[in-house]
Amino acid sequence: MRLSHLALCIVFALAGLSAEAAPLKIAVFDFELINTTTSDPPNAAEKQRLVMLSDRLRAALDADQTFKIVDIAPVRERVAETRLQACGNCDRSFAESLGADLSMVPVIHKMSELILNISIAVRDVKTGRIIAGFNADIRSNTDRSWQKGLDWLLANRVLPKDKAE
């Protein structure tokens, strides 16, 4: 089995696990938006994009079959009341309550209508350490730019395929 960059980071970070170990359970939380242009909540289009990207991220990880995606539904409402990227590791306790080995916190940082950043942090639930982090800058606040940004991040950083076969 080929391991993605993310999987290799995780395998090396979690001592004692081999590539043949059972798939790691990962709690992939919904994308959050940090908007430094205004204090207003996300607009309707941005809310839809956050859902779209969250679904797309989970689908890509699920299709890779390196991980077992844990259903976050039991904690989704409580998570929505917090800001995972700024709550002092509370993603760890949410993921732990779901029986996950790993926590994934994805964020869109909107600096302007033109400049945005997608970042993804992966935490080892057992130790609380961030064991992988990925980010990509995107230009324009559209469905297409958000999709392309996440797709690039997945293909080139999170789940790149070995080109030498």
Are the C-beta atoms of 15 and 133 separated by less than 8 Å? Answer: no
pLDDT, tens digit, for every residue of 13-44? 554 445 556 789 999 999 999 999 988 889 99
pLDDT, residue 36, reads 93
Q: What domains are defined for the chain?
A: 22-158 (3.40.50.10610)
CB contact burial 119-155 (16+ within 10 A = b; e otherwise): bbbbbbbeeeeebbebebebeebeeeebeebbeebbe
Task: Please check the confidence at residue 139 and state whether its pLDDT lies above 70.
Answer: yes
- In three-state secondary structure terms, 161 is coil
Considering the entire predicted model, what is its pTM? 0.86
pLDDT, residue 10, reads 60
What distance in Å separates the CA atoms of residue 10 and residue 122, rounded to the nearest whole number? Answer: 9
Q: Which amino acid is at 99?
A: G
What distance in Å separates the CA atoms of residue 24 and residue 61, rounded to the nearest whole number? Answer: 11
